[in-house]
Amino acid sequence: MKQFKEEISVADFSIPALRIAGISKSFHAGKNQKKALSDVSFSIEQGDFFGLLGPNGAGKSTLIGVLAKTVTPDCGDVSVLGFDIRRDWQQFKMAIGIVPQEITFDPFLSVWETLRLQSGYFGLRHNDKWLNELLEVLDLADKKKESVMRLSGGMKRRVLIAQALVHKPPLIVLDEPTAGVDINLRHSLWTFMEELNRKGHTIILTTHYLEEAERLCRNVAMLNHGRIAALENTRDLLKKYSKDRVVFTLSRPLPEDFPIQVEKLQDGFYCLNYDNPEALRTLLDELHKRCLEPEGLEIGKANLEEVFMRITSK
């Protein structure tokens, strides 16, 4: 992935990149009412790489819809870099770029025309230098004149990203940017997002690929049934809800008086969850003392998937 030439200008760092306060939203489906968001509040600092996670139907897209002003909340306030979504809509929309999940383009336009049109939406007339740089960075330069509808799925996704960045928004929201994308493109998109973040953009990422969120996001919010179920630094969350574990196999059963409490998974298979790597050394020493050398040993690291399962099954 190529490097950006231009850095973005940053605002007063004491102002949150995004502030969401008391957002609720219900949808009417016939006689029934579905509460998609219930009193959701959180703030994201400038420069953060933030994961918005949650199972299907948790309310992520509804929240992004609120940011895009395609969903009107029943109550609550939203501001980006201090600009209120209602009072300061012009500044708000200049400060945020949303990469939607759905791929929708005008089928008759080329890549270049799509980006020019989007620039026009923001009133940017002399934007060609930046648009060319975006095409270059996203490896789309040779597709400039091609009709967007003729591009492959992965290329279309890149155009969606370029489209969201035409006005160099300080806050970028990526709704499932890697859904259905092959592993090579996924890796290059990660590099691209990291580069944007390094240049000062605040990034909000929603994804169902939890290893992706674990790798990229410094902080995460987990939504569940429209409520914030966890809001924390990713590493702290891992420490709190997930443990490292070792699964080991023995040819003989563990003696009843074995001093360490381990879980028996099935005959010959045992598991120990631990916080401190010292516990693993102690386990191996105790096994060794009893001439019980493990035949197999597999170490698993704490991961966000486990945290997610615990929090969302509560």
Ligand X SMILES: Nc1ncnc2c1ncn2[C@@H]1O[C@H](COP(=O)(O)OP(=O)(O)OP(=O)(O)O)[C@@H](O)[C@H]1O
Nearest approach, Cβ of 216 to ligand X (angstroms)? 18
Nearest approach, Cβ of 56 to ligand X (angstroms)? 3
Q: Do residues 60 and 225 touch, judged by C-beta distance below 8 A?
A: no
47 is a contact residue toward ligand X (CB under 6 A): no
The binder of ligand X chosen from 17, 18, 36, 216 (CB under 6 A): 36
Return the structure tokens found at 251: 């040819």
Q: Helix (H) and strand (E) counts for the chain?
A: 10, 14
Q: How many residues does the chain have?
A: 314
Phi, psi for residue 211 in degrees, rounded to 5: -70, -25
Mask for 99-128, x = binds ligand X (CB under 6 A): ------------------------------
DSSP class of 226: T
Number of residues counted as binding ligand X (CB under 6 A)? 12
- Structural element, H or E, at residue 253: none
Nearer to ligand X, 36 or 246 (CB): 36
User: What's the CA gap between 85 and 63, in Å, rounded?
Assistant: 13
Which of the residues 50 through 69 are near ligand X (CB under 6 A)?
Answer: 54, 56-62
Nearest approach, Cβ of 157 to ligand X (angstroms)? 16
With CA atoms as reference, report the closest residue to 52 among 62, 195, 191: 62
Nearest approach, Cβ of 137 to ligand X (angstroms)? 28
The binder of ligand X chosen from 34, 198, 215, 264 (CB under 6 A): 34
- Which amino acid appears at position 30 of this protein? G
Nearer to ligand X, 36 or 228 (CB): 36
In the block, residue with structure tokens 């009107």: 72
Chain centroid offset of residue 144 CA:
29
Nearest approach, Cβ of 79 to ligand X (angstroms)? 21
29 is a contact residue toward ligand X (CB under 6 A): yes
Q: Which residues bind ligand X (CB under 6 A)?
A: 27, 29, 34, 36, 54, 56-62
